[in-house]
Amino acid sequence: MGKKMSGRFVAGMSVEEALAACQRVNKEGIAVSLDSLGESVTTEAEARTSADIYHQLLDAIHTRGLNANVSVKLSQVGMDFDPALAERIVGEMVEHAAHVQSFVRIDMEGSPYTEATIAMTERLAAKFPGAVGTVLQAYLFRTEGDAERLLNEGIRIRLCKGAYKEGPEIAFPAKSDVDSNYVKLMRRMVTFSNPTTGKGVFCGIATHDEAIVEQMRAFVREHNIDKSAFEFQMLYGIRRDLQHRLTAEGFGVRVYLPFGPEWYPYFMRRLAERPANVIFLAKNFFKN
């Protein structure tokens, strides 16, 4: 069962297996964000080892001409024991990405990381504009303000609902409220125009919720928004039918592609943190 699960939702154990999967997805007209699995390292050596994989990925994306970028969690690079080290390591990644015209997405983790992640993204974006962005979670009360903050700085956002367990004092407990906030935020992101430059910000609408996807399709149509102004983002192996349909309709689609030997603890943590994640994976395991 573990092998079957990993084969469906994880793109292999090695860098080469992940790059091969990336190439296959690209041939379907779908972009990729590569994520080397691993969290909560405890030494600088482990953090540097994690970073080395990302530098390999950035070089391979460039030399092989892949339509891909990378996603990294701060807990992979020492944030829990040395935030300054984590920022140096991610800064080196972003500098590398800027050099090869690529992009680093700093993933969002639980709420204790939220402000530090946003602030680090802002500092790095000031040094390397366009080469770094982050993720915002629609279930947090603070996210509307965070979205305005980042949009006004021209920083790319990946909008997701949120997969970590958070308390009712900081997050919407009801799914209907999370969905409503998500729709409000996605509409804002695709219509945002900087008051000084008149430019928008290219954002990722990360959802497998077909009702929300349909709302976005209708909104784009009704407001004559260019399909190239944003992209839909989904997880590798989940709702492949929807990914292909959106691609055929001319929307940009990017798949978040995790890989690496840490797949088992990664899945167990995600499932333990939030029971809804178990239901979500089980439902999608039997879909195309």
Q: Of 232, 75, 83, 79, which is closest to residue 164 (Cα–Cα)?
A: 75
Question: What's the pLDDT at 3?
Answer: 57
Query: What are the binding residues for FAD?
Result: 108, 137, 161-163, 175, 207-208
Please report, in range form, the residues annotated as the binding site. 73, 108, 137, 161-163, 175, 207-208, 269-270
**With left for phi above 0 and alpha for psi between -120 and 50, is residue 237 left, alpha or beta?**
left
DSSP state of 171: B
Q: What is the pTM of this model?
A: 0.92
Contact 66, 72 (CB under 8 A): no
Give pLDDT tens digits for 200-209. Answer: 999 999 999 9
Q: State residue 27's pLDDT score.
A: 98
Residue closest to 162 by CA, chosen among 138, 186, 180, 185: 138
pLDDT beneath 70, residues of the chain: 1-7, 265-288
Domains, the chain, in order of start with CATH, read 1-286 (3.20.20.220)
Residues with a catalytic annotation lie at 107, 158
The per-residue pLDDT for 282 is 63
Question: Cα–Cα distance between 171 and 111 in angstroms, integer?
Answer: 10
The pLDDT value recorded for residue 275 is: 59
Binding residues for substrate, by number, are: 73, 269-270
